[in-house]
A = this chain, B = another copy of it.
């Protein structure tokens, strides 16, 4: 980092901050947020589909009638009424749970963070899909974990790969604290863990004494079917479950939750109180009011239809315009498509050119702790309308064609000067809202 040697505090920071720096990617994203750029980068939900008039009136009433409670501190575990409503919501995925074991958090990012702090000592291993959510990697690494990636395919996490990874890590003498997995509409992978693999994965973990951390922000945003039965619904003793209202209602409220076995839940509350005292009371009251007074299931349907249309627009555009040799996943819900580009291309090195061509994406390396992902990019279809998605894909296709020509002319070394390989990283910069 330029200027580090001028930092008068450089000898005082904690060990966990080492390797932490402001990524160049950030500066690019600042440019990418200009209106002329089509951003396929962010995971921001399309909140404009909400009925703002009805929500505004509802909140007005809330302040007038319950201001004294809604604007005051609440208990660290979160508002009891909301926790009960959360249990009703989780029942849609087959989960039977008590409000007593739910902890409300500042989005599921804080849930990831408190789980990390309750379990991870420096050097502990966390198993995570390859690729995995950048925000989770970031939370785990802030607790000085080592991430070991486990392969996925179109059916999600591969059971045999998981079993092998557990054996290999243990043979190396290291301790596994948990498996982190996003079973539904994976971020960034776009795939879903197949029904027939779910019990097998859980069995492998139970047999090996490995806890499972199930992250499920998109579970109710499937396009084709009823919600899948959650891992937590199949094993309540060995699964910690994370949920969020960021994608189903409003990300700016920052309300998520964690459901955990009782002994773990007690520790999560104490760490959360040390971190934030209590989650935003006002946001919690708003969510509880929304779930009890507004037609939220109908609104979910609106979101699902809207995202399905955008997913179709993206898949069509990719099929029509992306150069031969590119492949991508076909999500049946959620926000993301994971693209693999032909050998010789480097999605990180290519990014500045893409931004100059007025299209943004997230390079694959952000989703790996081991430096992989240079041939991948995450494209999201959640925020721009279909015609903008098509235009973005068109611009990106142009960039890819240009790069492929360069590679054909000069060979893959064309990129090596500007883009040294990344090894394992001690810190994943991010997440920013662009990488959610």
A interface list, Cβ under 8 A from B:
3, 6-10, 12-17, 20-22, 42, 44-45, 47-48, 50, 52-53, 55-57, 59-64, 67-76, 106-107, 109-110, 113, 117-121, 124, 135, 138-139, 141-143, 177, 211, 237, 246, 250-254, 261, 263-264, 266-267, 270-271, 273-283, 285-286, 427, 429-433, 436
Contacts of A271 in B (CB 8 A): 17, 20, 142
Q: Report copies per complex.
A: 2
For the complex, give the distance between the alpha carbons of A177 and B48 in Å.
46
Given contacts A263-B9, A279-B254, are A63 and B56 in contact (CB under 8 A)? Answer: yes
When C-beta atoms are compared, the residue in chain B nearest to A57 turns out to be B60
Contacts of A274 in B (CB 8 A): 109, 113, 135, 138-139, 141-142, 431
A50 near B75 with CB under 8 A, answer no
Identify the interface centre among A10, A107, A275: most chain B CB within 10 Å of its CB. Answer: A275
B47 near A64 with CB under 8 A, answer no
Given contacts A57-B60, A271-B142, A433-B75, are A12 and B44 in contact (CB under 8 A)? Answer: no
Identify the interface centre among A264, A276, A285, A427: most chain B CB within 10 Å of its CB. Answer: A276
Q: Which of these, B52, B73, B254, B427, contacts A433 with CB under 8 Å?
A: B73
B48 near A433 with CB under 8 A, answer no
Contacts of A429 in B (CB 8 A): 270
For the complex, give the distance between the alpha carbons of A76 and B270 in Å.
24
For the complex, give the distance between the alpha carbons of A62 and B285 in Å.
17
For the complex, give the distance between the alpha carbons of A275 and B70 in Å.
24
Contacts of A177 in B (CB 8 A): 12
| A317 CB, nearest partner CB in chain B, Å | 24
B266 near A281 with CB under 8 A, answer no
With A71-B250, A273-B431 given, can you name 15 additional A-B contacts, CB distance below 8 Å? A6-B263, A8-B263, A21-B270, A22-B270, A50-B71, A52-B63, A53-B64, A59-B63, A75-B432, A106-B276, A109-B276, A135-B274, A139-B274, A139-B275, A275-B275
B60 near A56 with CB under 8 A, answer yes
For the complex, give the distance between the alpha carbons of A275 and B62 in Å.
29
For the complex, give the distance between the alpha carbons of A211 and B11 in Å.
12
Contacts of A113 in B (CB 8 A): 274-276
* 14 CB-based A-B contacts, threshold 8 Å: A7-B263, A9-B261, A9-B263, A14-B118, A14-B120, A69-B252, A71-B252, A72-B250, A106-B254, A106-B279, A107-B277, A109-B277, A142-B275, A280-B280
Contacts of A45 in B (CB 8 A): 72
Identify the interface centre among A117, A266, A273: most chain B CB within 10 Å of its CB. Answer: A273
For the complex, give the distance between the alpha carbons of A173 and B113 in Å.
32
Contacts of A436 in B (CB 8 A): 73, 277
For the complex, give the distance between the alpha carbons of A119 and B18 in Å.
11
Contacts of A17 in B (CB 8 A): 117-118, 267, 270-271
Q: Which of these, B14, B47, B250, B276, contacts A117 with CB under 8 Å?
A: B14
Contacts of A60 in B (CB 8 A): 56-57, 59-60
Q: Which of these, B117, B278, B432, contacts A142 with CB under 8 Å?
A: B117
Contacts of A281 in B (CB 8 A): 251-254
B22 near A266 with CB under 8 A, answer yes
A68 near B47 with CB under 8 A, answer yes
8 tightest A-B CB contacts, nearest first:
A252-B281, A56-B63, A73-B433, A7-B263, A71-B250, A60-B60, A109-B277, A52-B67
Given contacts A138-B273, A251-B72, A254-B280, are A13 and B57 in contact (CB under 8 A)? Answer: no
A67 near B44 with CB under 8 A, answer no
| A306 CB, nearest partner CB in chain B, Å | 14
Contacts of A138 in B (CB 8 A): 273-274
Q: Which of these, B3, B74, B106, contacts A252 with CB under 8 Å?
A: B74
When C-beta atoms are compared, the residue in chain B nearest to A64 turns out to be B56
A252 near B73 with CB under 8 A, answer yes
